[in-house]
Copies of this chain bind each other. A is one copy, B any other.
Amino acid sequence: MWDGFEGIVAQFERDDVVKVRARAKLYNDQLELTVENVIPVAEKDYELADFLPHTKQDVEKLYARLNEAVHAAENPWVKTLLVSVVEDASIAPKLKRAPAAMTMHHAYIGGLLEHVVSLIELSRLVASHYPELNRDLLLAGIVLHDIGKIEELSCARGFGYTTEGQLLGHIALGQAIVRRKIEAISDFPRPLAAVIEHLILSHHGSLEFGSPRLPLTREAVALHFLDDLDSKMAAIETTMASDAGIGDWTERNPALRRNLLRTSQYLAEPPSEPASKAASAGIAMHAAAPKGTDGSKP
């Protein structure tokens, strides 16, 4: 086929979806393909979800849980605001598709929604433990903190940053989305608006992580912790689930920048009863571990 190579190449661009016709043969027990033709496919003829990783959960159910939570807010201003965001016809479809991040955690179609719903449920538990936390404010922070990702990230063909995303970032984009929604609600109390926008601005927790303000309210501090915890738990889950790594050690986790130890066997296998010689001696503590994961001086 490669006679017409240049003509074929001219038909598609980076990130286009194509159909490939090829001839297969076995060579040294490995499958080898000889490409015969490459044909671009129109967007209507394929499902993006077939080419990008996506959440294992049902996006519509996640959305329903989000919507339910939002309608359960007690404070009427908070409820009106959150409903107006979540049910916005131009926001909802994007919310159902956006990943929560490019690579660090929940990096798949529906990841943002999965992250938000996880946080809503986590925050209910945590707020039951710290009753001084205002549940409505915390809910507002959770629902809105990453809303700018729907404009920052593109998942048209593959995941990427939009130019607007690069220039402004999801924190400023999110604040702008929320402010517009607030301005559309007549008489929304301005102090409450500032407290809510502050949740978005401060949720990365420190200036060097891109938050232009430090968390200054109880709920802003809690939001930062919960967001960070949920991201890290998801990132660890992904690494732990992967086959990569050596022995009990995982490959390097990109969010934590270290290898992690899988400890399931240390407890899962029935250990000997205390005070009797343990069968678990079989777990060799002196097996090789990855080199220098914590930067301390050797």
Can you show 14 pairs from A to B with CB atoms below 8 A apart?
A160-B291, A162-B287, A163-B249, A163-B289, A167-B216, A167-B261, A180-B183, A187-B277, A191-B280, A209-B296, A212-B296, A214-B258, A216-B258, A217-B260
Q: How far is the CA of A163 from the CA of B23 in the complex (A)?
A: 48
> Which stretch of A37-45, A46-54, A263-271 is in the interface?
A263-271
Q: How far is the CA of A172 from the CA of B196 in the complex (A)?
A: 13
Is A204 part of the binding interface, using a Cβ–Cβ cutoff of 8 Å?
Answer: yes
List chain B residues, Cβ under 8 A from A290: 161, 166
Is A197 part of the binding interface, using a Cβ–Cβ cutoff of 8 Å?
Answer: yes
Is A7 part of the binding interface, using a Cβ–Cβ cutoff of 8 Å?
Answer: no
Q: How far is the CA of A295 from the CA of B278 in the complex (A)?
A: 42
Contact with A212, one of B130, B190, B211 (Cβ below 8 angstroms)? B211
Q: Is B228 touching A163 in the complex (CB atoms < 8 A)?
A: no
> Which stretch of A58-66, A85-93, A97-105 is in the interface?
A97-105
A64-108 interface with B by 8 A CB criterion: 75-78, 80, 101-104
Q: Is A130 touching B233 in the complex (CB atoms < 8 A)?
A: yes
Q: Is A213 touching B274 in the complex (CB atoms < 8 A)?
A: no
Q: Is A192 touching B261 in the complex (CB atoms < 8 A)?
A: no
Q: How many residues of A contact B (CB 8 A)?
A: 116
Q: How far is the CA of A284 from the CA of B261 in the complex (A)?
A: 41
Is A56 part of the binding interface, using a Cβ–Cβ cutoff of 8 Å?
Answer: no
Is A128 part of the binding interface, using a Cβ–Cβ cutoff of 8 Å?
Answer: yes
Is A116 part of the binding interface, using a Cβ–Cβ cutoff of 8 Å?
Answer: no
List chain B residues, Cβ under 8 A from A212: 169, 171-172, 210-212, 296
Nearest B residue (CB) for A154: B286
List chain B residues, Cβ under 8 A from A207: 207-210, 294-296
Q: Is A192 touching B75 in the complex (CB atoms < 8 A)?
A: no
Contact with A274, one of B162, B187, B263 (Cβ below 8 angstroms)? B187
Copies of this chain present: 6
List chain B residues, Cβ under 8 A from A216: 166-167, 258-261, 293-294
Contact with A160, one of B75, B77, B266, B289 (Cβ below 8 angstroms)? B289
Of the candidates A75, A260, A267, the one having the most CB atoms from chain B within 10 angstroms of its own CB is A267
Is A194 part of the binding interface, using a Cβ–Cβ cutoff of 8 Å?
Answer: yes
Leading 6 A-B pairs by shortest Cβ distance: A210-B296, A160-B288, A125-B125, A167-B198, A166-B289, A189-B280
Q: Is B201 touching A271 in the complex (CB atoms < 8 A)?
A: no
List chain B residues, Cβ under 8 A from A104: 297-298
Q: Is A293 touching B166 in the complex (CB atoms < 8 A)?
A: yes
Is A292 part of the binding interface, using a Cβ–Cβ cutoff of 8 Å?
Answer: yes
Contact with A176, one of B121, B175, B259 (Cβ below 8 angstroms)? B175
Q: Is B164 touching A190 in the complex (CB atoms < 8 A)?
A: yes
Contact with A185, one of B260, B275, B277 (Cβ below 8 angstroms)? B275
Is A248 part of the binding interface, using a Cβ–Cβ cutoff of 8 Å?
Answer: yes
